[in-house]
Amino acid sequence: MNPNVSSPVAEGTELHIPPRQPGKTRLGVMGGTFDPIHHGHLVAASEVASVFDLDEVVFVPTGQPWQKAGKQVSDAEHRYLMTVVATASNPRFTVSRVDIDREGPTYTIDTLRDLSRLRPDAQLFFITGADVMGEILTWKGTDELWDLAHFVGVTRPGHELTAPRGSSSVSLLNVPAMAISSTDCRARVEEDKPVWYLVPDGVVQYINKYGLYVHDEHTSTTLLAVDRDTENGPRETTRSTL
What share of the chain has pLDDT > 90, as a percent?
54
Question: Sorting pLDDT into bands at 50, 70 and 90, what band is 197?
Answer: very high
Query: Mean pLDDT, to the nearest integer, of 196-213?
Result: 97
Q: Is the peptide bond before 164 cis (omega within 30 degrees of 0)?
A: no
Segment among 5-9, 97-101, 149-153, 159-163 with least mean pLDDT: 5-9
Greater confidence (130 vs 60) lies with 60
The predicted structure's pLDDT at residue 142: 77
**pLDDT value for 165:** 59
| Res. 144 pLDDT band, cuts 50 70 90 | confident
Query: For the segment 22-52, what is each residue's pLDDT rounded down to a tens digit?
Result: 999 999 999 999 999 999 999 999 999 999 9
Give yes or no for a contact between 218 and 105, defined as CB atoms under 8 angstroms apart. Answer: no
What distance in Å separates the CA atoms of residue 119 and residue 219, rounded to the nearest whole number?
A: 36
The number of residues making up the chain comes to 242
Q: Which amino acid is at 60?
A: V
Examine the pLDDT at 202 and tell me if it is beyond 90.
yes
List, for residues 104-114, the tens digit of each pLDDT value: 888 889 999 99
Band of residue 56 on the pLDDT scale cut at 50, 70, 90 = very high
The three-state (H, E, C) secondary structure of the chain, written as one string:
CCCCCCCCECCCCCCCCCCCCCCCEEEEEEEECCCCCCHHHHHHHHHHHHHCCCCEEEEEECCCEHHHCCCEEECHHHHHHHHHHHHCCCCCEEECCHHHHCCCCECHHHHHHHHHHHCCCEEEEEEEEHHHHCCHHHCCCHHHHHHHEEEEEEECCCCCCCCCCCCCCEEEEECHHHHCCHHHHHHHHHCCCCCECCECHHHHHHHHHHCCCCCCCCCCEEECCCCCECCCECCCCCCCCC
Between 33 and 219, name the one with better pLDDT.
33
Average pLDDT score over the chain? 81
